[in-house]
Amino acid sequence: MSLKHVILGFLAVGPRTGYDLKKRFDRSVSGFWPADQSRIYRTLTALEEAGLVTQEEIVQHDRPNRKPYHITDTGRKELHQWLGECKSGTPPRNPWLVQLFFAGLLSDDEAIQLLKDKAARIRNTLASYPVKYRLSPDYEHDEPERTDFFHWLTLDSAIHARYAMLEWIEGAIQRIQSKQYKKGREAAITRWPPFLGLPPDPPKMR
């Protein structure tokens, strides 16, 4: 995936200027696919050169002219093809997981504090969502309801993932407090297989 697919997705809903796109990024996908203004404009230029978008100039007498971008038929084909492919994201580097990996070098209290600090950051993130994403019953949007529904599903995914992480942290703290670490990985792994559709035994490596 690249930034061009995100931009094509927004333009498939309706024409937007580069400034409009930046505002949409900030209030929607920035949590998992951020982009600054300069990258957006560079990508728009590349998309126009590739024939995936076109730019229109709308004359305005009382303010600077608007120059919205429109997705072309070629752009829609590119977007539709990409939407049909299930892509795996590049695993991000996660310093906190590295800290947790070596937390056996800490005391129980220090390891628990590491987990509590992570839980506090997650709660702060969840608390910021109502303002950041304008979660109110009377919010305004310019997309069809079905399009709007799928946009918000991404936020629902993030919320569920964070609540699941909070639940996991609470369980991990309880296991440390009860010194279950004396059992090693038997007490560390609480769910196997990780997916119910898998066979009861781990697959053999070839």
pLDDT tens track for 150-187: 888 988 998 999 999 999 999 999 999 999 999 998 88
pTM given for the model: 0.69
Residues in contact with 106: Cβ distance below 8 Å, sequence separation at least 6, in sequence order: 114
The torsion defined by the Cα of 168, 169, 172 and 177, in degrees rounded to 10, comes to -140
The torsion defined by the Cα of 89, 94, 96 and 102, in degrees rounded to 10, comes to 110
Out of 11-20, 99-108, 163-172, 197-206, least confident range? 197-206
- Average pLDDT over the chain, rounded to an integer: 86
**For residue 204, is pLDDT > 90?**
no
pLDDT tens track for 109-158: 999 999 999 999 999 999 988 887 776 666 666 778 888 888 889 889 98
DSSP for the chain, please give it: --HHHHHHHHHHHS-B-HHHHHHHHHTTGGGTS---HHHHHHHHHHHHHTTSEEE--B--SSSPPB--EEE-HHHHHHHHHHHTS-PPPPPPP-HHHHHHHTGGGS-HHHHHHHHHHHHHHHHHHHHHHHHHTT--TT----S-HHHHHHHHHHHHHHHHHHHHHHHHHHHHHHHHHTTGGGGTHHHH---SSSSTTS-SSPPPP-
